[in-house]
Structure 1
Amino acid sequence: MTIEFNHWPLDRAQRYRDEGYWIDKPLTHILQTRSQSQPHALAIVCGERRFSYAELDQLSSNLATRLAASGLGKGDTALVQLPNIAEFYIVLFALLKAGIAPLNALYSHRKLELKSYAKQIVPRLLIASREHEVFRSDSYIADFKEVGTNPEITLLLGETRHENNLAEWIETSGRRAANFSPTEPGEVALFQLSGGSTGTPKLIPRTHNDYHYNARTSAQVCELTAQTRFLCALPAAHNFLLSSPGALGVLYAGGAIIMAPSPEPLTCFALIQRHEVNTVALVPSAVALWLQAAPEHREQLHSLEFLQVGGACFADSLAHQVPGVLGCKLQQVFGMAEGLINYTRLDDSDEQIFTTQGRPISPGDEIKIVDEQGIPVADGEPGMLATRGPYTFCGYYRSPEQNAQAFDNEGYYYSGDLVQLMPTGDLRVVGRVKDQINRGGEKVASEEIENLIVLHPDVTHAGLVAMPDDRLGEKSCAFVVSRNPNLKPPTLRRHLMELGIAEYKLPDRIRLIETMPLTAVGKIDKKHLRQLLAAETTRTWLQTRVLQLVEDCEDLDPEENLIFYGLDSLQVMKLAAELKERGIAVSFEELADSPTLASWWSLVDTRQKAA
């Protein structure tokens, strides 16, 4: 029995084998090879626990044996949710060995997401932790039955019942011997989660062949070795941390993975010092926190050599700070769980490393950058990214409608990213086509949150848009129309929490408005909402900036001439220049002609709408 998925066309599949991209080995080959060549080498550090390659191999085989003895095997699926602990990798390899395809949910996911995943894959096996809020009681059983699935076997960390205790299943292979084997290399090995621009994340089937190539080639491009000590501080289940090059790349190279519970700077700095970590992968928001904390803790970072940054756009200004503040080399990563991965190379120029997101890892990667009509744009011009290749999937799991939108008739996948091709061959990411918010590397689908907000009985319309944030890159703002004039934002956040969504998906700001702007075809006018948000943001910034420039003033009358507050012409010139830097073309003369805050607000509103 095999899991259905969209296969590569036969001619491309044969080409990928002929050119050595696909080597027809299961992902378990990575661990098997290292456990034979360096069985006693360190593979994982988790708190005070240390696991060699041989131990990782043995413990995962113990669990695979018990799963096989319980009747699970090829063609079955598992829903897994574990935190950043060694058991995550033990379980992963056990499932791969037994031919069971896991879907690894992020630990931040809650009831809503888990029920959706269970409904899609109908897992025979559920693996989770009693410490997670969803599994602290047995009420989760009813939640899964509600969506038409009831896993036959549930294994939980921290479980008191022996038959459901994950740790006991890992420690012993059981009394009954059972044979197990992975699925064929061309079949589904595991599911990854899409960034999700519409609704709950779609599922991405990854085969042994394509994911093995993904991991080993990434390890080679990133020059990982047996001396690599990799800090896993972001969620272990994330594609970035699993295969770009991530844990699988590190294990392929014979290095060691150091587990961290989160990217919190001081915790990570202590782990870096204690275990001589030399490589770490972070999202931009985490890097910003590290840059703030590092100056007082530089002695703890002496071993750090490489910092990989991915998951979201990384500001040039932050990128330039990394070598000086953290004392290590920067590598930018632009990848997607659907496939294509780009890296800046370790010997690239500073200009490439600081201002681009690198170039593809494979000669087999095919890329085109097109406009809205599908016509290739001129080199250097921004356009929509489309790609296909030996490790870029050919379709979401059981999603024919989504696939019809995401792929063209040549098999190119449209990622929703807006990019520029630089003269060096590197890509620069300049934005997103899809209605999605990238909150510090966590993707929030606007449609999903909007649909949940309007479930509240007092809400008639909801629109979610991104707003810029210096630390996270983007935050979310929900515009809501309510039939109840007394409805407050905390009530809506409580409503969303009770529905069981992940905390990072909660709107950072909720603005109640009287009517929702609509397009000519009756859809929510997101452009208008962004203009409203930009206008509010600019108005607040402008008022704050004027207050900084004038003295002995805590508040301003918007209709009063600002000259009476002590604002002079040089300061007005400075404001005009600063507005220009923010993308608002306002001249000194225009500001000087009517120097009141109210008139300036009106002026910048007009320019922003025109833009």
Structure 2
Amino acid sequence: MASPTRLAEENIRDYLSRGIWQTMSLSDYWDRNASRIPQAIAVTDGKRNISWAEAKVWTDRVALALIHLGLDRDDVVVLQLPNSVELPLLRVACEKAGALSLPVPRTLRQSEMRYCLRYTEAKAVVVPRRYRDFDHFGMVRELQTDLPHLRSLVVVGEEAPLGALSLDEMASDPWEKKVSPLLSRERRYKASEVSLINATTGSTGLPKFSEYTAAARLLYGRGYIDVFGLGDTDVLAALSPAAAGPNIPVYFAAPQLGAKTALLSYFEAEAAFELIQREKVTLACLVPAQLALMVAHPHARRYDLSSVRFWLSVGAPLPSNLAREAEEKLGGIVLNCYGAVDWGGVVFTSPFDPPEVRYFTVGRPHAGTEVRLVNEAGNPVGVGEIGEMQGRGPACSSGYYKDSEATSRAWTRDGWLPLGDLAQWNSGGNLVVVGRKHDLIIRGGQNIAPSEIENYLLAHPKVKQAAVIGMPDPVYGERVCAYVVPRGDEPPILEEILSFLRSKKIAPYKFPERLEVTDSLPMISDTKVNKRILVEDITVKLTQDV
């Protein structure tokens, strides 16, 4: 399995010979830092500070413990943890043990976890005993009864309940005296081997699992280093709980620099402010919803946020007005990034871009990434024309784990992956994403990109969150419906929304013809709205209206 699914050996040799991929793996960088700057802090979560030297001992011992537990090379270890020092350390330990690490969202419950554990045939899973009043240990114990391959349940903390192992004990036990360290050195993944798996999220069906080499992920991290001008004195913070996406710089840029990382275990705006002030964060990685909460917080000015050079927004469309307001209220430069878990290409704006580029585009491809826009016939479109995004490059995923057929269906023979997003190139060579291909609303033959209207709605003073969908219509095919979460106690009414949109001088056919006010939007993940549920909801309501 260590060989990438869709990359031939000659592709790998080419990347390595041209220096596009590095021979150093993720764990090599961690060990190098332990040698060069042993006492410097590698990672903190506000409760524990771990130096590079301590990280080496920790990861070496946990790697040997995993081998002692009977994990074979290429076995899967599922990590369901909040942001904590253990999360990056476990990734490194798994790489040293020759085990595939699969971090999954802490919000998954029995149904999704059963699928993840069964599909990957995971041999071990690491969870907190309890987190925010949910019994993760109890959930996995219940699932274990019909998952015979799941041999080891590891719980974070000093004490483990009956039926579990303590991760702290694994990390403190001198395994090097019981198990030959040669085993770890022999099994350790090379940078060009698959060592990481990320779970995709989707509005329908069950997740797929995208495989990555450390070389591909480190190349992505190098893209941030080069374009942002990051160095070893920077402090990179993961404010989002994402296992990849917003936190790529934290996991894959910081170790290359020997820079400190700070992890926020649970997001609240004031907790984020406190972390930034305490750790003097220079690069804050987050999703637009988190940035919006920080901008709207009444106590933001009480905190010293002057250390922040950049706010990196990833995972969902970034409204232009939010980016502008964040820079005005919080300081620093807001940078926008486009990405997809099962793609892995590198596209983002630069600190040197003018505001109009940073606010209204996702920037340009970097680190060898290629992007093309094609029409329905598969032909490239011109500047200013809308086409479906396709991407490829050396930082990308090497396919779907244990699913060569899905990999063959998804990628073209020459390596292009259709991304399902519609975009256009502007005259400056930057990408403007206009929405999902399947989210596109076709009203009487006229195309409407929901993201455009959502961005306008989010600028309305009474709107906190917005999602625009097409509702079925017997005459026009679809009409526009907007779901909004109000910002305060007084919700907006449709006429206020229409008046606001008229002031923006956009085409009237794009206006919402129905407004649904709700307390919250259904979410697929921390960043994506489940529009399928909204379409089902409005369809039922239309039927009831009749």
Question: How high is the TM-score relative to the length of structure 2?
Answer: 0.80
Does residue 421 of structure 2 align to residue 417 of structure 1? yes
Moved more, 63-72 or 132-141: 132-141
Q: Which letter does structure 1 place at the counterpart of 2:140?
A: Y
Q: 1:134 to 1:403 in 2, by over 3 A?
A: farther
Q: In the alignment, is the contact (CA less than 8 A) between 2:237 and 2:262 conserved in 1?
A: yes
1:226 to 226, 232, 238: 232
User: 2 CA distance for matches of 1:192 and 1:163?
Assistant: 25
Residue aligning to 2:296 = 292
Does residue 364 of structure 2 align to residue 359 of structure 1? yes
Q: Which letter does structure 1 place at the counterpart of 2:363?
A: G
Q: 1:314 to 1:180 in 2, by over 3 A?
A: same
DSSP-derived class of the 2:78 partner: strand
Q: In the alignment, is the contact (CA less than 8 A) between 1:294 and 1:325 conserved in 2?
A: no
Q: In the alignment, is the contact (CA less than 8 A) between 1:128 and 1:135 conserved in 2?
A: no
Residue aligning to 1:560 = none
Residue aligning to 1:441 = none
2:509 to 584, 590, 599: 584
Q: 1:165 to 1:355 in 2, by over 3 A?
A: same
DSSP-derived class of the 1:250 partner: helix
Does residue 253 of structure 2 align to residue 249 of structure 1? yes
- Displacement of 1:317: 1.2
Does residue 319 of structure 2 align to residue 315 of structure 1? yes
Instruction: List per-residue Cα deviations over 1:544-570 (Å, max 9, x = no partner).
Output: 539xxxxxxxxxxxxxxxxxxxxxxxx
Q: 1:328 to 1:543 in 2, by over 3 A?
A: closer
Q: 1:160 to 1:400 in 2, by over 3 A?
A: closer
Q: Which runs of 5+ in 1 are unaligned?
A: 437-464, 480-515, 519-524, 547-571, 587-611
Does residue 379 of structure 2 align to residue 428 of structure 1? no
- Displacement of 1:199: 1.4
Instruction: List per-residue Cα deviations over 1:428-457 (Å, max 9, x = no partner).
Output: 111112469xxxxxxxxxxxxxxxxxxxxx
User: 2 CA distance for matches of 1:580 and 1:347?
Assistant: 30
User: 2 CA distance for matches of 1:535 and 1:195?
Assistant: 22
- Displacement of 1:86: 0.6
Does residue 225 of structure 2 align to residue 214 of structure 1? no
Instruction: List per-residue Cα deviations over 1:445-497 (Å, max 9, x = no partner).
Output: xxxxxxxxxxxxxxxxxxxx999573776559899xxxxxxxxxxxxxxxxxx
User: 2 CA distance for matches of 1:576 and 1:40?
Assistant: 56
Q: Which letter does structure 2 place at the counterpart of 1:6?
A: T
DSSP-derived class of the 1:297 partner: helix
Q: Which letter does structure 2 place at the counterpart of 1:266?
A: E
Q: In the alignment, is the contact (CA less than 8 A) between 2:15 and 2:21 conserved in 1?
A: yes
Instruction: List per-residue Cα deviations over 1:8-55 (Å, max 9, x = no partner).
Output: 134433332232111233221121121111111111122242111111
Does residue 479 of structure 2 align to residue 531 of structure 1? yes
Residue aligning to 2:34 = 35
User: 1 CA distance for matches of 2:382 and 2:372?
Assistant: 11
2:282 to 274, 278, 288: 278
Does residue 106 of structure 2 align to residue 104 of structure 1? no
User: 1 CA distance for matches of 2:468 and 2:228?
Assistant: 34
Does residue 202 of structure 2 align to residue 196 of structure 1? yes
DSSP-derived class of the 1:71 partner: coil
Q: In the alignment, is the contact (CA less than 8 A) between 1:46 and 1:86 conserved in 2?
A: yes
Q: 1:9 to 1:45 in 2, by over 3 A?
A: same
Q: In the alignment, is the contact (CA less than 8 A) between 2:282 and 2:308 conserved in 1?
A: yes
- Displacement of 1:69: 2.2
Q: Which letter does structure 1 place at the counterpart of 2:96?
A: K
1:176 to 171, 175, 178: 178
Residue aligning to 1:141 = 141
Q: Percent identity, aligned pairs only? A: 24
User: 1 CA distance for matches of 2:500 and 2:23?
Assistant: 62
Residue aligning to 1:386 = 390
Q: Which runs of 5+ in 2 are unaligned?
A: 441-449, 486-490, 512-546
Q: In the alignment, is the contact (CA less than 8 A) between 1:285 and 1:472 conserved in 2?
A: no
Residue aligning to 2:167 = 166
Q: Which letter does structure 2 place at the counterpart of 1:49?
A: R
What pairs up with 1:260-271 in 2 under 5 angstroms?
Answer: 260-271=264-275
DSSP-derived class of the 1:584 partner: helix
Whose radius of gyration is greater, 1 or 2? 1
- Displacement of 1:214: 2.0
User: 2 CA distance for matches of 1:435 and 1:402?
Assistant: 23
Query: CA RMSD, aligned part only?
Result: 3.3
